[in-house]
Structure 1
Amino acid sequence: MKIGIKHRLFFIVLTASVIVAVGMMLLTLWSIGRGFRQYVNNVERERLERLATSLEASYGQEGGWEHLRDNPREWSRLVLQSVPERIAPRWVLDRLQRRLGGRPLAELLAPQNGTDLGEGDEPTMSPALAQLFQLRVFLQDADHTMLVGPEDRDPDLKQELLPLRFQGNIVGYVGLMQRKRLVDRRQLVFLRQQKVTLAIIAGFMLLVSALLSRPFANRLVRPIRALAEGTHRLAAGNYETRVQVERRDELGQLARDFNRLAMTLEQNESARRQWVADISHELRTPLSILRGELEGLQDGVRQATPEAINSLHGEVLRLGRLVDDLYQLAVSDVGALTYRKEPLDLAEVLDEALEPFAQEFEHKGIALQYDLGPDAGRTVFADAERLHQLFGNLLENSVKYTDPGGAVEVRLEYDGGRARVHILDSAPGVPERELGRLFERLYRVEGSRSRETGGAGLGLAICRNIAEAHEGTVAAHTSPLGGVWITVDLPTEEH
């Protein structure tokens, strides 16, 4: 059975909550048990220290331990007095002392096996009573001889001894046998209540986690589901698909990237359709002219005169130039143009590119001015043939689209690690809103270009690809001479 991401997230969150809740409960129980035992031990140690102080005072008054060894009542009184008042108020201890009536504390606490003890019978006490402080404390002299306390001590129990001093000398030791476990009923009830309370809290936390995990999983999966549905529509060709962005996290960023991808695909699809339509239009015009003229020759409407042959030849040349430009643009788009780069003197390359156009500018009456700059000898790492093609296309545009009697200015300058070639021409100009589109494929500015004087609108697109292949840029601006100002920016070798 296929499990969806929503249910996977639900079970992951729920499992994590179970692990955390159970772990916290176990750690808390361990901490409470350990802390409570430590608290009990600290209370007993404090009581042992109070008893040690009382025993040192009693030793100083009596001058020995005989009064405690021979008088269990006095020993019981001192042990009872060692209870801190925050645990047992003084009046409680006084009442307990009166109940002793001269009997030792151990005898009062020891339950009998029966009503009457037979000869040789000894009183026994329960394991719980055996864990009481009064029955685990003992007194030894300076030689560790037992004076007061249980004779049959468990050798496995740890003992805590405090030295008793009088006038700077050790006169004895008071000791306490450590507990094996907690046996006091109130202490055990307290720990049992804590366990039950923690179990209830853990169960409540798991219930809340289960109730919150499902809406959390739904909320987390909702944008993923929207992205999946949008991807399906996008794969089906619906490039207008967009997803709503409501988050600022990684999923929100993914949704924004998806929308940008959809927009890019939509623009590319629109450009592709426009590209196909423009190419079809560009090819249809010369083919229609060729077809019309050839049919006229076949029907005898036109004669096969040299003028007719020249007209057909001109259309074939125009069609060939279009196909060549399309091929050059296609191979430059896929990076298939061959580049043989080497260090070149950009001034020499530009001068060689200008030379073939000198007569054309002169024939059209266009004044050509160029300044290759004083910083000659700066080199660029480039392909000479492709730079000739780049500058040739730009200069050819200036020849075709500059009115007779106008002017063209070519400048070369360097700025840090960049070389910039400026080509400025006079009227006619291009509207400023159209300047950014000059380098689009098959784009023509209305009124300034025509198929009679210009090409198919592919030359500048090829120029842009060549400049980018040299890690450079080409841009168009309004020329102060009244026409277009083209700037080619290339890195120099020192860059």
Structure 2
Amino acid sequence: MKMSIKHRLYLAFLAATGLVVVSMFLITKFSFERSLLRYVNTMEQERLVRLETLLKEAYLQHRSWDFLHGNRRLWKHLLMISRHENIPFATRHEFPKRGPEPAPPGFRPRKRAAPPMHQTFDWRVSLLDGEKRPIHASPTPVDKILFRPISVENRIIGYLGLTPPVFIIDDHQRRFAQEQRRSMIFLSLFVAAAVALLSLPLSRRMVKRLTNLAEATHGLTAGRYDIRVDEAGGDELGQLARDFNSLARALENNEASRRRWVADISHELRTPLAILRGEIEAVQDGVRPLSEQTLETLHGEVMRLERLVGDLYELSLSDIGALQYRKSAMDLAEVLRHTTEAHRAEFDDKGIGLHMRGIATSLPFQGDAERLSQLFSNLLKNTLRYTDPGGKLEISAEMTKTTIQLNFMDSAPGVPEASLPRLFDRLYRVENSRSRQHGGAGLGLALCRNIVEAHNGTIEARPSPLGGLWIAIILPLNG
């Protein structure tokens, strides 16, 4: 059985939290016990200083350590009173005259576990005389104890040492340590429980966003390009949702363009085919004679089909990157002049003036002369097709250190500004009936854009100062 991502996230949150909680508990426990041992050691060092003071005073009274040799009772008494501070000297060497007070009737003392004797302060303290002979020694080897000298009247009379404690044996200190451990355990369990409760809705919320994206992706693959997801959130999932919506919009636009492209191509092909069929059927039925005029009409429609299919073929090659470009050093002005002269007779027949500025000089360029000639030819044909008779076309060139800008500005009629950005779309017409009447299929400018972009340039349509269309082309010198 596969585990869902929601449960995986939930277990990951719990595992990470458990690891952090256990690590914090162990680190805190270790740090607390070490700090408590340091505190106990500090307190014992202070007690050791008080014991040293008592031993100095006792030594000054007896002028030797003979009073303490073998006197275990006196040694225990000194150790006992060293626990307290500010005890008058008169009471420091007084021994109890009687035993402990009798317990009240019926009193039963509570039994306590006795701490290990070798860990008590009394067993860990050692006293040596001036010759480092033991007076009262602990079980710990002498070479492992750090001794401090006892000086009287600038003379070392002995050495007092204490073995550091290994663990806590005092009842109060152990109870305090146990309370702290219980508090840490309770806090750790509380944090783990809180994370367990919060992780489930958090993982469910995160997985819900992923589930919505998965469902939307399935819908997208099924062709539902209008599907969208919620873009709320500034995290990675929010960015992923925004990217998904952008992809969905792009696919929706591409699908709409594809459908429009198929419809437009079908329409463009159907018109000349319908004319050809009508003419041929009229000849077959004897409605029209097979005259030279009829053959010329059929030939014109066939040529129109050939141009349309040729434009479609070149455009498709350009889209897939199969349209070859042979770039070399060339003179862009010479290519432009040669292409313009090839169409000058057509301009004269239609009565459209053709003027050139800045083309007389050389324009060195790195590009494909054949494709650039095709670019200029398409722009000239576009002017011939749509500019009113008696109008004019001005072609100018401006050269900078890095670019060459070519301007094709013709006279009326103009193009609405709302249509300017779409002029380079395939099969787009500003006015379908007028364009069809002039024989345009809306592919020439689309092919012009592909040729310009293949030379790393830009092409833009603007309103012409002459009242028509202004095509601005900017080409980098290195092509």
Could you tell me the TM-score, scaled by structure 2's length? 0.89
Q: Does 1:218 align with 2:213?
A: no
Aligned to 2:459: 474
Rounded to whole Å, the distance in 2 between the matches of 1:342 and 1:168 is 105
Which residue number in structure 1 is paired with residue 141 of structure 2? 155
**Counterpart position of 1:188:** 174
**What is the SS of the residue equivalent to 1:239?**
coil
- Give the match for residue 428 of structure 1: 413
Question: Are the structure 2 counterparts of residues 391 and 60 from structure 1 closer, same or farther at C-alpha, using a change threshold of 3 Å?
Answer: farther
Contact 1:378 1:492 in 2 (8 A): no
Query: Partner of 2:35 in structure 1?
Result: 35
Whether 1:49 aligns to 2:44 is no
SS of match in other structure, 2:442? coil
3-state SS in 2 of match to 1:454: coil
Q: Distance in 1 between matches of 2:153 and 2:308?
A: 121
What is the aligned partner in structure 2 of residue 350 from structure 1? 336
User: Aligned residue for 1:131?
Assistant: 119
**Pairing of 1:54-453 with structure 2 (within 5 A):** 54-56=54-56, 59=59, 63-69=63-69, 78-80=78-80, 82-83=82-83, 85=85, 100-101=95-96, 128-147=116-135, 149-150=136-137, 153-155=139-141, 158-372=144-358, 376-446=361-431, 449-453=434-438
Q: One-letter code of the match for 1:266? A: E
Q: Deviations over 1:121-142 (max 9, x none)?
A: xxxx965344322343222123
Letter in 2 for 1:412: A
Question: Is the Cα contact below 8 Å between 1:428 and 1:448 reproduced in 2?
Answer: no
Query: Equivalents in 2 of 1:84, 1:271: separation in Å?
Result: 97
Separation of aligned partners in 1, 2:248 and 2:369 = 40
Q: Give the CA deviation at 1:14.
A: 1.1
The whole-number CA distance in structure 1 between the counterparts of 2:214 and 2:160 is 78
Q: Does 1:463 align with 2:448?
A: yes
SS at match of 1:471: coil
Cα shift at 1:447: 7.3
Mapped partners of 2:236, 2:424: distance in 1: 37
Q: Give the partner amino acid of 1:19.
A: L
* Contact 1:239 1:266 (8 Å CA) reproduced: yes
CA contact (8 A) 2:78 2:92 kept: no
CA RMSD in angstroms comes to 2.9
Counterpart position of 1:114: none
Partner of 1:11: 11
> Which residue matches 1:117?
none
Which whole-Å CA distance do the structure 2 matches of 1:94 and 1:488 have between them? Answer: 114
Q: Matched residues in 1 for 2:304 and 2:350: separation? A: 22
* 1:122 alignment partner in structure 2: none
Does the CA-based 8 Å contact 2:414-2:467 persist in structure 1? yes
Instruction: Tell me, in whole angstroms, the C-alpha distance in 2 between the residues paired with 1:254 and 1:274.
Output: 30
Contact 1:343 1:380 in 2 (8 A): yes
CA pair 469-56 structure 1, distance change in 2 beyond 3 A: farther
Compare 446-455 and 269-278 and name the one that shifted more.
446-455
Letter in 1 for 2:125: V
* Equivalent AA in structure 2 for residue 320 of structure 1: E
Query: Judging changes above 3 Å, is the alpha-carbon distance between structure 1 residues 94 and 422 closer, same or farther for their aligned structure 2 residues?
Result: farther
Aligned to 2:104: none
Task: Report if aligned partners of 2:132, 2:158 keep a CA contact under 8 Å in 1.
Answer: yes
Tell me the CA shift for residue 8 of structure 1: 0.9
Instruction: Indicate the percent of aligned positions where both proteins have the same amino acid.
Output: 48
1:451 alignment partner, SS class: helix
Q: Structure 1's 101 and 403: CA in aligned 2 closer, same or farther, altered over 3 A? A: same
Return the letter of the residue paired with 1:101.
P
- Contact kept, 8 Å, 2:388 with 2:413, in 1: the verdict is yes
Contact 1:52 1:162 in 2 (8 A): no
State the Cα distance separating 1:309 from its structure 2 match: 0.8
- Matched positions, count: 467
Q: Distance in 1 between matches of 2:350 and 2:84?
A: 119
Cα distance in 1 for partners of 2:84, 2:418 equals 95
Shift in CA distance, 72/383, structure 1 to aligned 2, threshold 3 Å: same
Aligned partners of 2:143 and 2:193: how far apart in 1? 45
Contact 1:160–1:178 (CA under 8 A) maintained in structure 2: no
Contact 1:50 1:82 in 2 (8 A): yes
Report how far residue 288 of structure 1 moved. 0.5
Deviation at 1:192? 2.7
Is the contact made by 2:337 and 2:359 (CA closer than 8 Å) also made in structure 1? no
Structure 2: distance between partners of 1:9 and 1:96: 69
* Matches of 1:459 and 1:84, distance apart in 2: 108
1:259-309 deviations in Å (ceiling 9; x for gaps)? 011111110110011001000110110011111111100000000010111
Which letter does structure 2 place at the counterpart of 1:483? Answer: G
Worse-matched range after superposition: 285-294 or 405-414: 405-414
Question: 1:185-210 CA deviation, whole Å, 9 max, x = no partner?
Answer: 33333333333332222222222221
Query: Could you report, residue by residue, the CA deviation over 1:233-270 in whole angstroms, capped at 9, with x for unpaired residues?
Result: 11111110001111110000000000011111110110
Which stretch of the first structure deviates more once superposed, 441-450 or 299-308?
A: 441-450
CA offset digits 1:26-68 (Å, max 9, x no partner): 2222222222222211211232234335545655666544455
Deviation at 1:405, TM superposition (A): 1.8
Structure 2 unmatched runs, 5+: 101-112
- Closer/same/farther in 2, CA of residues 428 and 180 from structure 1, 3 Å limit: closer
Which residue number in structure 2 is paired with residue 488 of structure 1?
473
In 1, the alpha carbon distance for the partners of 2:188 and 2:465 equals 80
